Structure 1
Amino acid sequence: MAAEEQQFKYIVRIAGTDIRGDLKLVYGLASIKGIGVTTAYAVARMLGLDPEMRVGFLTEEQIRRLEEAVSDLRKLGLPAWLFNRRKDYETGEDKHLIGADLVFHARRDIEREIRIGSWRGVRHKLGLKVRGQRTHTTGRLGMTIGVSRKKGGK
């Protein structure tokens, strides 16, 4: 038992993200940008890890396996519908991006839509809602104009 007992780590670094050691494994993985709770459950189960264990009790070997799995989810054999970038615009392949790569690709997609002048690009360019929401009363920017009351009266 003493050889298997592991030292608790208060901060664990996985995929360039510092994760608090007191979080359960799935919620710790979900704190990585680009990984949600569903994907975290899938990764934990495919690697044979208990999703309810605390991140601070992971061994170095488990952390290394998680790092490899998160960097390329295709190696785990997960279904393509679980990925966050299916049918990539340039390569046509299914990918799962995390961290800075996800932000970079999203920004590049928006810039491409602005450049080609699509409806979504025009809405982005004007700073308006893009996904069909109403704009008559919501999404206003700037200072609010409230109701002004007269001084002294009732």
Structure 2
Amino acid sequence: MVGRVSLVAEPASCQVPQRAPSHPPRAMSLQFQSQNFQHILRMCNTNVDGRQKVMFALTAIRGIGRRISNIVCKKCDIDLNKRAGELTTDEVNKIVAVVSNPLQFKIPSWMLNRQRCVKDGKTSQKFANFLDQALREDIERMKRVRLHKGLRHYWGVRVRGQHTKTTGRHRAFAAMATGKK
């Protein structure tokens, strides 16, 4: 009986009435930028993209990952859906204060990237240029004390236990060739 058309009209009780939608129609991703929207912010000696959401924009700063940036935003009472370009100067200053002194704002010490520093024994969060400086000082200390890891850095070979017999040959050769000049 496929293809047969029914000549009998449907009863009125079977017809579904058309209703208006219960919610108003929404615009499709239409965003209005405020007058003081900044496309690039300068924060902790780093250019931060203002178009990204605050949590992900903070990860542009070296030494700050998604976990730390999430906690920093929560400690500063900043909406996670807010764009970084919409932040006020007070909010930016508050973020910088929390990043530079996380222990004062009750961020747990196990989340910080510099625990029990060799110099002073303190736990802190290093970021941007301070992270580069601390890493450079650590490598120089390893070389000076002549640790195995420091010697591998000095020789310019792999440090973390990778195989070196077959891989990475051309880089080492290029480094030796430039070193002889």
> TM-score, normalised on structure 2?
0.72
1:43 to 45, 69, 72: 72
- What residue number does 2:54 align with? 25
Find the aligned partners of 2:50 and 2:122 in 1 and give their Cα distance.
35
- What residue number does 1:136 align with? 165
Which structure has the bigger radius of gyration? 2
2:103 to 54, 66, 74: 74
Q: Unpaired segments of 5 or more residues in structure 1?
A: 144-154
Q: CA deviation at 1:7?
A: 2.2
Whether the 8 Å contact between 1:26 and 1:51 is mirrored in structure 2 is: yes
Find the aligned partners of 1:29 and 1:66 in 2 and give their Cα distance.
9
2:115 to 82, 86, 103: 86
Whether the 8 Å contact between 1:86 and 1:93 is mirrored in structure 2 is: yes
Find the aligned partners of 1:108 and 1:96 in 2 and give their Cα distance.
16
1:14 to 27, 38, 43: 43
Whether the 8 Å contact between 1:10 and 1:22 is mirrored in structure 2 is: yes
1:37-58 Cα shifts (integer Å, max 9, x gaps): 1110111112111223110111
Q: Which runs of 4+ in 1 moved over 3 A?
A: none
1:108-139 Cα shifts (integer Å, max 9, x gaps): 11011111111101111111111111112223
* Equivalent runs, 1:101-140 vs 2, <5 Å: 101-140=130-169
Whether the 8 Å contact between 1:6 and 1:57 is mirrored in structure 2 is: no
> TM-score, normalised on structure 1?
0.84
- What residue number does 1:60 align with? 89
Q: Equivalent residue of 1:18, what SS? A: strand
Identity %: 32
Find the aligned partners of 1:80 and 1:138 in 2 and give their Cα distance.
38
Find the aligned partners of 1:138 and 1:38 in 2 and give their Cα distance.
34
Q: Equivalent residue of 2:152, what SS? A: helix
Give the superposed CA RMSD: 1.4
Q: 1:6 to 1:79 in 2, by over 3 A?
A: farther
User: What letter matches 1:88 in structure 2?
Assistant: C
What is the number of equivalent residue pairs in this alignment? 139
Q: Unpaired segments of 5 or more residues in structure 2?
A: 1-33, 175-181
